[in-house]
Structure 1
Amino acid sequence: MTVAVTGDFIVAYGPRAQAWLDGLEGFQPLAGPAPGTIAAVRGDVHRGQTAAGTRWVALADLIEGQLEDGAQPAIEAVASQWRGRFAQVAWGGAAEEAFLATTDHFGSLPLYWYARDGHFAIATDLRLLLDAPGVRRQPDLQAVYHYLNFACIPAPLTICADIRRVMPGTRLQLSLQGAHADRYYLPEYPADLHGGDHALAKALRERMIDSVRAHRPDKDMTWGCFLSGGTDSSSITSILASDGQVKTCSIGFEEAGYDELEFARIASRACGAEPYTERVDRDRALDMLDTVIQAYDQPFGNASAVPTLACAQLGQQLGMTVMLGGDGGDEIFGGNERYAKDKLMERFYRLPAPLKALGVAIGNAVGGGSNWTLNRVRNYTRRGAMPNPDRFYQDDAFASEYYEALLTPAFRAQVDRDASLDYMRQTYAEGGPVDPLNQIMRLDLAMAIAQNDLVKVHRACRHHGVAARFPYLDKALVAFCGRLPADAKLRGTQKRWLFKQAMVGILPTDILKKPKQGFGLPIAVWMKEPGPMQTRVRQVLLDERTQARGWIEPAFVSRLVEMHMAGGADHSAALWQLLVLELWMRKYFDARSAVH
């Protein structure tokens, strides 16, 4: 039996599993199929051009076809060969009373699991397991600590202590005896391609075009592209527009420094796309805060979820069922600003120890005041003296940096202060040592992409009934970029060096030369302006109910609020994370605890 699922599903085993599933609505529940059969699958994979012109097929249809031919597909063996996004659960394996779960290479469709009190289950949404037999609605404070550092909760931890998430590119066998995970995919970086720049640029261009065209939805689908005006979304749009009309969705803001609609228009005009745009103002963003809480099955503190939700909603209103995004481009082509900064810091790190110590001493002596330039010198020497990934971690260390001031003694007693850094160190070491640039790009693929960006886009699209595809995370393209030498990605401090050579003639010069902006939300501006956003921050974060949770020191949060509102240091990212965390807990944990 194979069940095709476009929405969420649960597969469960145990004496009370069927009674529990019978009480749930709005998704596909399955309890104990026959051993050796496929229980549930979700997603679609690329199968190449067929006589009917269809290149993408629902994974369930593919497996059903193999079953009709008399072949039981060995999912655990062939999943690594699939090209696309998928999450599947098979019943059976080495033990009859077991599930075999598989996530795609970057975990773009999540799977959550638990095993407790004679039951085990797997679901595509964590919230579906909160009332499962034996699950305690107890927050995992180590996961909360990760969230306060990373703005998301990295797998395998989840917000619930009894529930875990399957890692990306992983096969998991789950039974009453426990869980065994096997990681079948990690990006590789042999950097073994050599030749002239022209030849490498031509090869990259061909593979980018192949990947983008391979991810083009079939003719019977209504689809479009996310278009921020950046190089990745613009290149995808341009490549697709060379084969026919393309609709694009773009979100902008009135605030200077955040709006990229002009670049989105430049990209659209250059390739003849059909653009659709909207602006998000402060009041709409505040209204959408509740949507963020509804859309995400765990606390998610990346504020760019708001424009992503708005963009997915625009696509849904236009009738789109599939949207293509440029996620992953920075991490395979070398586009992140911090790669260039880290390269300079790596040079400092490699200095002889006496020179490095002298540099740190000078930085400490001149920094610490109000002079911006001298403080940059201090930051450079302080961070440059650290090895990676410790150096990289400084960008994600809010709770670590303010550990005693931010967190209550009761909270600190239940967490390991070094756990978030240790998680990053472990992730950084996976796959073994490679060139320093490739190693931090691999780290970004594992954390910034798989744990953050894909969660952001998948949940936003899922909330509005749209599927997301990511051509630049195609495993063949990722593998090719892993074979490129590091200086093809970052030449000196020039980011995306080979990408820009490859895209000459495809992207307009204005797009190729534009500074990187990202898909940020102007919450720093909005929180400083008197009005409903500022009021909501104060009402929630300084509320007695928030303080009673016992996690965050009220006096410290009050200082953060007042310092930001007064126009001092920018604490908007931290305040947004705290705001989302508290509202999410109120909706999904407090309300349920009151019932049970």
Structure 2
Amino acid sequence: MSLAASIRGDFVLAGGPGAADWASRLPGFECGSGADDAIVLATRGSVHLGGDATGKRWLALADLVESVPDDAAGDDPGAMRDWRGRFTHVAWHPAGGTVLATTDHFGSLPLYWYRRNENFAISTDLRLLLDAPAVRREVDLTAVYHYLNFAFIPAPSTICRDIHRIEPGTRLALDAATESTTRYYMPAYPADLEGSDDQLAGDLRERIIGTVRDFRPAADDGWGCFLSGGTDSSSIVTILARQPGAQVQTCSIGFHEAGYDELDFARKAGEACGAKPHLDHVDRTRALALLDAVIDAYDQPFGNTSAIPTLACAELGQSEGFSLMLGGDGGDEIFGGNQRYAKDKVLEAFYRLPAPLKAGARMAGKLVGKTNNHLLNRVGNFTQRGSQPNPDRFYTDDSFASDYYLRLLTPEFRSHVNRDASLEFMRSVYDAGDGGEPLHRIMRLDLMMAIAQNDLVKVHGACKHHGVSARFPYLDPDLVEYCGRLPARYKVRGLNKRYLFKKAMQGILPEEILRKRKQGFGLPTAIWLKNDRATQELMREILLDDRTRQRGWVEPTFVNKLVELHMAGAWDYSGAIWQLLVLELWMRKYMDGH
């Protein structure tokens, strides 16, 4: 049975005394029940339903690039290691009341669950469970703290204390009395491949081409590609465009602000392979208008500013008739393309210095770090960070609430959340996989957090909001496994990132694209907040009003100080201010007043 491009629906599977009555009142859902009403199923949109002779039933949202046998809903989660694509899968015996729920390798489609007072449920959208029987709308302040550090809430936590999210690559067994989880997938890095650079580059090239072609939708489907102008999206577009008879269409978003716009690179990548481009811009006015879409598109607070251009890009694809779009997400994390990988290599070398040398450098760093000189302050910051092991030093890129713990958070909030709560969470993820080379350990950390819980959340939320699906060829488990067998020197050679990938892509990508500096897909909020009075007024209107103050989480005087410091150019606090804004707006819409 093939499960393809059917990930735009929602479902709720529930059991317990109040399940049937509650599920029947979900707006827009079709509701049914099991043989003895032990399990109630409500669906909306396209959801696969199936069963077998033993009475087992299953449902799934899935976009798998290969067919799946009818008995794939078996009790062995390890069998799902070989599935390719995106999926959620839930199986149950109606009479027994036990549910097995499984997420794909990177949790790209979310599954939420709760169990309380003999009631339990699983759903594809957290908001659908907020009014479920016995669920209490109590905020998990540790989850809020994670959000203020990471800009997202990592699984298994959610904004609601009673509701949990199934982690990536995990199966949950759930009934009215018990629950347990089994992790069936974690990226591995044996780094056991040997060969010449040319041999391995050729092998990687063929594997990339084969994977991208496998993920190509059927010719008669309406589909296109995200194209930023970076190497990942550009390579996918080029490989697809080189297939006989192919006419690849692309969607790209630009900005008028210098330093943020990459449309020139997107044009060059598209022109080089004959792709048909669709281009659009996001300015300050449109970005603020899209704030409502950010709140609607994500079932938890999501503070990554690049959600705005991603929503605009998905909207552009939908307007061109696309039902599915391919993205390059994961390329940085499997090929070694993040700038901080090269930076961390330098920091790791400092960390491995003899203790007396590090102590002397730290002392010097503290002295020069007390000046007002930006360069000297960076020296002090380097010695401080380089003295920490990973993942602690990696965490310093995502530690805003930790850094300003005493000034940002109210005493009441701090009484519930330890300062190191988010760091401890990152340490647990870092330690979850096998050991390996230092670079590989942080690449796996990025796959499990930056990709699985940030980037994929961003793209899925934006696409689902506009009725579009997404595929991620570079997160194909087979390709990820192969890259894990390549030693770290093939990802970062010296300080050169993507060493083997760039060698593999010679002759496929234009040299200008291969040499371009990585830029990312950020929103120019830093410029708007510094220079635009309307943006400043919006931030203050929401973040400093009585309703926000009464929440009692953050100190309004410090928030006002952040805005003032940003406007003065002392530092870029726009990301933190944006996170606070999205958090407050999301809380007002979904958690307050019920």
CA offsets 1:217-273 (integer angstroms, 9 cap, x no match): 112211000000000000000000001110000000000000000000000010000
Are 2:412 and 1:402 equivalent residues in the alignment? Answer: no
1:348 matched residue in structure 2:
350
1:174 matched residue in structure 2:
174
Alignment of 1:356-505 (within 5 A): 356-505=358-507
Q: Is the 8 A contact 1:140 1:158 kept in 2?
A: yes
The structural deviation recorded for 1:44 is: 1.9
Letter in 2 for 1:78: A
1:236 matched residue in structure 2:
236
Cα distance between partner residues in 2 of 1:129 and 1:298: 12
Structure 2: segments with no counterpart, 5+ residues: 37-53
Q: Is the 8 A contact 1:92 1:100 kept in 2?
A: no
Alignment of 1:79-478 (within 5 A): 79-92=80-93, 96-243=96-243, 244-478=246-480
The structural deviation recorded for 1:530 is: 2.9
Cα distance between partner residues in 2 of 1:568 and 1:388: 29
Bigger mean CA offset, 469-478 vs 556-565:
556-565
Letter in 1 for 2:219: K
1:526 matched residue in structure 2:
528
Q: TM-score scaled by structure 1?
A: 0.94
Letter in 2 for 1:323: M
CA offsets 1:102-128 (integer angstroms, 9 cap, x no match): 000000001000001111000000000
Q: Is the 8 A contact 1:146 1:152 kept in 2?
A: yes
Give 1:39's match in structure 2, choosing from 58, 62, 80. 58
Q: Is the 8 A contact 1:7 1:27 kept in 2?
A: no
The structural deviation recorded for 1:96 is: 2.1
The structural deviation recorded for 1:564 is: 1.3
Q: Is the 8 A contact 2:16 2:176 kept in 1?
A: no
CA offsets 1:409-435 (integer angstroms, 9 cap, x no match): 111111122111011111111122100
Cα distance between partner residues in 2 of 1:246 and 1:29: 40
Cα distance between partner residues in 1 of 2:31 and 2:565: 49
The structural deviation recorded for 1:76 is: 3.3
Cα distance between partner residues in 2 of 1:230 and 1:537: 32
Bigger mean CA offset, 512-521 vs 530-539:
530-539
Letter in 2 for 1:76: P
Q: Is the 8 A contact 2:8 2:469 kept in 1?
A: no
Q: 3-state DSSP class of the match of 1:89?
A: strand
The structural deviation recorded for 1:37 is: 1.9
2:565 matched residue in structure 1:
563
The structural deviation recorded for 1:75 is: 6.4
Cα distance between partner residues in 2 of 1:391 and 1:325: 30
2:51 matched residue in structure 1:
none
Alignment of 1:543-554 (within 5 A): 543-554=545-556
Q: 3-state DSSP class of the match of 2:591?
A: helix
CA offsets 1:429-451 (integer angstroms, 9 cap, x no match): 11221000001000000000001
Cα distance between partner residues in 1 of 2:30 and 2:350: 55
Cα distance between partner residues in 1 of 2:313 and 2:167: 27
The structural deviation recorded for 1:569 is: 1.3
CA offsets 1:150-209 (integer angstroms, 9 cap, x no match): 000000000000000000000100112221000000001000001100000001001101
Q: TM-score scaled by structure 2?
A: 0.94
Q: Identity rate of aligned residues, in percent?
A: 62
Cα distance between partner residues in 2 of 1:549 and 1:269: 52
Q: 3-state DSSP class of the match of 1:357?
A: helix
Q: Is the 8 A contact 1:106 1:169 kept in 2?
A: yes
Q: How has the CA–CA distance of structure 1 residues 375 and 72 changed in structure 2, closer, same or farther, with 3 Å as cutoff? A: closer
Letter in 2 for 1:42: L
Cα distance between partner residues in 1 of 2:557 and 2:31: 46
Q: Is the 8 A contact 1:114 1:163 kept in 2?
A: yes
Cα distance between partner residues in 1 of 2:81 and 2:199: 30
Cα distance between partner residues in 2 of 1:177 and 1:392: 39
Q: 3-state DSSP class of the match of 2:314?
A: helix
The structural deviation recorded for 1:6 is: 3.8
The structural deviation recorded for 1:382 is: 0.5
1:50 matched residue in structure 2:
none
The structural deviation recorded for 1:5 is: 6.8
Q: 3-state DSSP class of the match of 1:323?
A: strand
The structural deviation recorded for 1:16 is: 1.1
Letter in 1 for 2:521: F
Cα distance between partner residues in 2 of 1:246 and 1:434: 39
Q: Is the 8 A contact 1:10 1:28 kept in 2?
A: no
Q: How has the CA–CA distance of structure 1 residues 126 and 499 changed in structure 2, closer, same or farther, with 3 Å as cutoff? A: same
Cα distance between partner residues in 2 of 1:212 and 1:454: 18
Are 2:34 and 1:15 equivalent residues in the alignment? Answer: no
Letter in 2 for 1:181: T
CA offsets 1:325-356 (integer angstroms, 9 cap, x no match): 00000000000000001000000000111110
The structural deviation recorded for 1:33 is: 5.7
Q: 3-state DSSP class of the match of 1:468?
A: strand
Q: How has the CA–CA distance of structure 1 residues 264 and 301 changed in structure 2, closer, same or farther, with 3 Å as cutoff? A: same
Cα distance between partner residues in 2 of 1:29 and 1:577: 37
Cα distance between partner residues in 2 of 1:266 and 1:379: 38
Q: How has the CA–CA distance of structure 1 residues 44 and 120 changed in structure 2, closer, same or farther, with 3 Å as cutoff? A: same
Q: How has the CA–CA distance of structure 1 residues 333 and 261 changed in structure 2, closer, same or farther, with 3 Å as cutoff? A: same
The structural deviation recorded for 1:278 is: 0.4
1:54 matched residue in structure 2:
none
Letter in 2 for 1:140: D
The structural deviation recorded for 1:36 is: 4.6
CA offsets 1:468-498 (integer angstroms, 9 cap, x no match): 1000000000000000010100000000000
Aligned residues: 573
* RMSD of equivalent CA atoms: 1.8
Letter in 1 for 2:247: Q
Q: 3-state DSSP class of the match of 1:590?
A: coil
The structural deviation recorded for 1:8 is: 0.8
Letter in 2 for 1:575: I
Cα distance between partner residues in 2 of 1:146 and 1:6: 28
Structure 1: segments with no counterpart, 5+ residues: 48-56
Q: Is the 8 A contact 2:8 2:468 kept in 1?
A: no
Letter in 2 for 1:223: W
Letter in 1 for 2:81: S
Cα distance between partner residues in 1 of 2:461 and 2:365: 43
Q: Is the 8 A contact 1:229 1:265 kept in 2?
A: yes
Cα distance between partner residues in 2 of 1:135 and 1:74: 29
Letter in 2 for 1:268: G
The structural deviation recorded for 1:527 is: 0.7
The structural deviation recorded for 1:77 is: 4.9
Bigger mean CA offset, 526-535 vs 235-244:
526-535
The structural deviation recorded for 1:32 is: 3.8
Q: 3-state DSSP class of the match of 2:325?
A: strand
Q: How has the CA–CA distance of structure 1 residues 30 and 456 changed in structure 2, closer, same or farther, with 3 Å as cutoff? A: farther
Cα distance between partner residues in 2 of 1:469 and 1:38: 27
Cα distance between partner residues in 1 of 2:175 and 2:375: 57
The structural deviation recorded for 1:28 is: 4.9
Q: How has the CA–CA distance of structure 1 residues 117 and 432 changed in structure 2, closer, same or farther, with 3 Å as cutoff? A: same
